[in-house]
Amino acid sequence: MSEHHHKETFVTKYLFSQDHKMISKQFLITGMFMGIIAVLMSMLFRLQLAWPETSFSLVEAFLGSHQTDGIMDPDIYLALVTIHGTIMIFFVLTAGLSGTFSNLLIPLQIGARDMASGFLNMISYWLFFMSSVVMIISLFVEAGPAASGWTIYPPLSALPQAIPGSGTGMTLWLVSMAIFVVSSLIGALNYIVTVLNLRTKGMKMTRLPLTIWAFFVTAIIGVVSFPVLLSAALLLIFDRSFGTSFYLSDIFISGEVLHYQGGSPVLFEHLFWFLGHPEVYIVLLPALGITSEIISTNARKPIFGYRAMIGSILAIAFLSTVVWGHHMFITGMNPFLGSVFTFTTLLIAIPSAVKTFNYITTLWKGNLQLNPAMLFSIGLVSTFVTGGLTGLVLGDSALDINIHDTYFVVAHFHLVMGVSAIFGMYAGIYHWFPKMYGRLMNKTLGYWHFWITIICAYGVFWPMHFIGLAGLPRRYYTNTNFPMFDDLADINVVITIFALVGGAAQLIFLANFFISMYRGEKATQNPWRSNTLEWTTPVAHVHGNWPGRLPEVHRWAYDYSKRLDANDDDSDFLHGEDFVLQTTPMLEGEIPS
Amino acid sequence: MLALFYIFIGVAIGVSFWQITRIMDFRGSIANDKDNDAQGKYAIGFMAFLYAMMIYCLIFMNVIMLPESASIEGEHDDNLFNITFWLIGIVQFGMQFLIFYFTFKYRGNKNNKAKFYADSHKLEFIWTVTPSIVLVGLVSYGLWQWNNVMDLSDLEDPIVIEVYSQQFNWKARYAGADNTLGFGNVNFIKGKNTMGVDMSDVNAADDKQVTELYLPKGRKIHFKFRSQDVLHSAYMPHFRAQMNCVPGMVTQFGFTPKFTTNEMRNQSEVIEKSIGINKIRRAKGEDPYIFNYLLLCNKICGASHYNMQFKITVVEQDEYDEWIAEQPTLAEYIK
């Protein structure tokens, strides 16, 4: 493959490329673009929540006919939170995160020339691109985009009479998501096949870096659960357009009884959350995989409990498919089912705890190189703990009764999957930027970016728990109609200020990213002195990744600071360095780790 | 004026861009010992910020939180919540300390060597088993309480009330003298029969439709929920109660009010919260706030989702009897 280069035109190199490295960059840039839209939306609705009666020219400029005198309309508020959630979860943290790093790292870290099918990989990206375009178009339809929450529960999402966003906006949302599901299925199948079949000589499954394990298991979860979302969406399209009654029954709206009989919204909730919950792990596991790799590299220590980490990933993956009902404790589902889901949900805390303890033990007695990527990984561990612990409250059905759908939930999931996953993504970008663009990102800006972001993330989401405990429901356009919530107004202002500053801090990242692309310090082959295979490839991209033969693997990925005598901390480093490439053969008499 | 503002912003962005490129020319990209040292110390600084904020919120935000449960069933909820919250609070403080202290303590230096420490079955065992044991405790108490709340199979002399939701208001129907609700379905909605009650059902005639909920203290209330259009959720935070209202099916929930509205108004937590609220309201020139139990919509249901409230008043039994006797039956109301 690498021997005879095809002549590349601009189109085959930058647009319809089948090279996994280029496709990963395409995913990243598209994901970042979508991310900017979603962040801007959150700024707008945070303004509304903090100063509900104040007029903003920003609102006037962005929302056009959906505002009056610079104050947004209630249904566009709901549309903003809906699209913010949809874009963040699917377009940024699923496609942007998995798409970028699975594509970049799977072939590079397992020692493959490319993905199993470069063509399908290209199709996967372009389907994602199409679905992004459709989603963006849906923002401009006259009645406004989908506005029934990212969970699109029918009947609200099925009936344009119920909310204007459920007209054309919802149709486009469903079309976009259907394309998206196809894209991610194609991608996931490709990842699975590649990991199983294209590992280079010596790369046993038990020698794979944890990143690859995470991407691999994520792809399996995706293949298991995404089709269910597709079918849920198809049935909803039938209900909306062809008069079927899968989810609808006994509805009286706008002065007339509709013909729907016998369906149930609870069915939709089951189907939706059968994807919706695993989706959390589809978002989170790649971030945890990236963190494992970065923490180990920068601590100059092997990841603690490699096998336990793999075990936890597998346990989380399995459990993630049997806990969806914890989103539905109070939907009218049989209370016995609620008991079962409480039990399985709290079980998931065990592998999560194991992972966290393992990260902390990896930090212990390390020689921490505090690069921006490392800081974001440590930040991930911190927010993962904070957000994960409140899961013990929400996963307990008896407690969930009273805080379900309040701001407590918003705080919980933003910390545990939103902020954590985005930190994982940032960590990955800072760490593998040299592999993508052949240059390094600037560390000073990276530090500013990290500290402002983590302070603001906590400043936004920690106080939010307490608003939830005060009983404030989420998705309220304003809470001024309830005097009992008047004392939450100040807290909302503080949260919004943190959110605005945090949002603005992302400009530092964008500037760093795009300037470094052209002016960053030129990267050496192995800038972080890492063990894994991607750092044995030349800095400048070549088709087929390795110019000559594929590398051969002789050891696991985590022989950092390994001593000649493994039990004697004072003995010299193996090969005189605190890292040993996976391609380095075992010394005579060396005990494999 | 606005144009000037935009020009100013444009210039500011330009200048910062130029400054950023300058910074980037002079600084490196890979952390050296000096960076490790500085960032390690910032980690401690950040930990101080985090602790200060966590403690501040835990102490000073107590006053805004919901007062103690106003239902008997909710007492265990509060109890379980307190246990869980203390537990996760301690773990949170401990873990954040370890994370940021280690970041500081083991910040890199070229004279240091990391310890090669890849595995320990003993440690792994400890932190698999410890959370498991703790969770067994939490789950057991949680499930016991869950069954306690959700089991409505054999209630002694409950008051049966139907809560009915539509975009964007609530209605309610008391079961009347026979304590059985007449059958309801959207097909029966007509004229004054806005809840769609089947008036040919023998149980329907004595039902009583109301626009405000009155509940007697100390009696078990058996709620049945219906919705005529989209999903709603009947959220009664003071009673630790919530259930979705689902079109096409009847859902249910039950609790026993513990304090009357008046008793609640005189409760210290409520007084303290009301003082705080009224200080804000006075500054804005609004009427003072008086505590009332509320039922709020807590499932996104459309544009006015944020304004779907329903007043609940808890009174003593005799007062309740008086009130309910005054309400017209459905047969009288619809005719």
Q: Which is it for strands B213-216 and B309-315: parallel, antiparallel or unpaired?
A: parallel
Residue of A81, A84, A256, A368 to mutate when probing chain B, most B C-beta within 10 A: A368
Residues 166-185 of B with CB under 8 A from A: 166-167, 185
Residue B155 has pLDDT above 90, yes or no: no
Candidates 1.10.10.10, 3.40.50.10140, 2.60.40.420, 1.10.1050.10; CATH matching B159-334: 2.60.40.420
Q: Are A298 and A373 in contact (CB under 8 A)?
A: yes
Gap between the Cα atoms of A64 and A79, Å rounded: 14
Residue A443 has pLDDT above 60, yes or no: yes
Nearest to B142 among A349, A398, A563 (CB): A398
Contacts of B61 in chain A (CB under 8 A): 463, 466, 491
Centre a 10 Å sphere on the Cβ of residue A334 and count the other Cβ atoms it contains.
10
Nearest to B247 among A265, A527, A593 (CB): A265
- CB spacing of B142 vs A397 below 8 angstroms: yes
What average pLDDT does range A367-373 have in this prediction?
Answer: 95
HEC states along B193-232? Answer: ECCCECCCCCCCCCCEEECCEEEECCCCEEEEEEECCCCE
What average pLDDT does range A140-163 have in this prediction?
Answer: 92
**Token output for A551:** 């590398």
Gap between the Cα atoms of A376 and B137, Å rounded: 34
Burial label for B258, CB within 10 Å (0-12, 13-18, 19+), is: buried
Residue A6 has pLDDT above 70, yes or no: no
Per-residue pLDDT tens for B183-242? 999 999 998 899 999 999 999 999 999 988 999 999 999 999 999 999 999 999 999 999
**Token output for B245:** 């209202």
**ipTM value greater than 0.90:** yes
pLDDT of amino acid A63: 86
- CATH 2.60.40.420 residue ranges of chain B are 159-334
pLDDT of amino acid A7: 65
Strands (E), chain B: 159-166, 169-174, 208-210, 213-216, 221-227, 232-236, 241-245, 251-255, 293-297, 309-315
Residue B117 has pLDDT above 70, yes or no: yes
Residues 64-103 of B with CB under 8 A from A: 64-66, 74, 76-77, 80-81, 84-85, 87-88, 91-92, 95-96, 98-100, 102-103
Instruction: Kindly indicate the confidence band of residue A1, based on its pLDDT and cuts at 50, 70 and 90.
Output: very low
Instruction: Kindly indicate the confidence band of residue A3, based on its pLDDT and cuts at 50, 70 and 90.
Output: very low
Distances (CA, A) of A40 to A29, A79, A80, A450, B6: 17, 13, 10, 19, 18
Q: Apex CA B178: angle with CA B187 and CA B201, to 5°?
A: 25
HEC states along A456-484? Answer: HHHHHHHHHHHHHHCCCECCCCCCCCCHH
- CB spacing of B108 vs A367 below 8 angstroms: yes
Contacts of A406 in chain B (CB under 8 A): 298
Q: Is the dihedral of CA B198, B202, B205, B206 positive or negative?
A: negative
Q: Are B159 and B222 in contact (CB under 8 A)?
A: yes
What average pLDDT does range A385-408 have in this prediction?
Answer: 94
A72 sits in which H/E element:
strand A71-72
What average pLDDT does range A86-114 have in this prediction?
Answer: 95
Mean pLDDT estimate for chain B: 91
Gap between the Cα atoms of A260 and A167, Å rounded: 18
Residue of A239, A297, A443, A539 to mutate when probing chain B, most B C-beta within 10 A: A443
What average pLDDT does range A499-523 have in this prediction?
Answer: 92
pLDDT of amino acid B17: 72
Q: Are A226 and A275 in contact (CB under 8 A)?
A: yes
Q: Does residue A116 sit in helix, strand or coil?
A: coil
Per-residue pLDDT tens for A17-50? 889 999 999 999 999 999 999 999 999 999 999 9
Q: Are A526 and A287 in contact (CB under 8 A)?
A: no
Go through A209-242 and write b for each residue having 16 or more CB atoms within 10 A of its CB, e for each that does not.
bbbbbbbbbbbbbbbbbbebbbebbebbbebbee
pLDDT > 70: percent of chain A: 99
User: Got the DSSP string for B21-40?
Assistant: HHHHHHS-SS--HHHHHHHH
What's the N-to-C CA distance of chain B in angstroms?
Answer: 66
Range in A55-69, A218-232, B318-332 with the lowest mean pLDDT: A55-69
Question: Considering just the CA atoms, what is the radius of gyration of chain B in Å?
Answer: 29
What average pLDDT does range A509-530 have in this prediction?
Answer: 92
Per-residue pLDDT tens for A257-303? 999 999 999 999 999 999 999 999 999 999 999 999 999 999 999 99
Gap between the Cα atoms of B42 and B100, Å rounded: 9
What average pLDDT does range A471-494 have in this prediction?
Answer: 93
Q: Are A422 and A31 in contact (CB under 8 A)?
A: no
Residue A5 has pLDDT above 60, yes or no: no
Q: Are A360 and B98 in contact (CB under 8 A)?
A: yes
Per-residue pLDDT tens for B41-97? 999 999 999 999 999 999 988 889 999 999 999 999 999 999 999 999 999 999 999
Sequence length of chain A is: 593
Is any Cβ of chain A less than 8 angstroms from the Cβ of B308?
A: no
Instruction: Kindly indicate the confidence band of residue B27, based on its pLDDT and cuts at 50, 70 and 90.
Output: low
Residue in chain B closest to A343 (alpha carbons) equals B139
Contacts of B108 in chain A (CB under 8 A): 300, 366-370
Go through B291-330 and write b for each residue having 16 or more CB atoms within 10 A of its CB, e for each that does not.
bbbbbbbbbbbbbebbbbbbebbbbeeeebeeebeebebb
Gap between the Cα atoms of B48 and B50, Å rounded: 5
Kindly state the DSSP code that residue A534 receives in the 8-state scheme.
G
pLDDT of amino acid A589: 77
pLDDT of amino acid A2: 44
CA-based nearest residue to A504, from A95, A155, A61, A58: A58
Q: Which residues contact residue A457 at a Cβ distance below 8 angstroms, ignoring those fewer than 6 apart?
A: A383, A415, A419, A502
Contacts of B291 in chain A (CB under 8 A): 484
Fold observed for domain A10-576: Cytochrome C Oxidase; Chain A (1.20.210)
Q: Does residue B258 sit in helix, strand or coil?
A: coil
Q: Does residue A368 sit in helix, strand or coil?
A: strand
Residue B7 has pLDDT above 70, yes or no: yes
Gap between the Cα atoms of A551 and A218, Å rounded: 26
Mean pLDDT estimate for chain A: 92
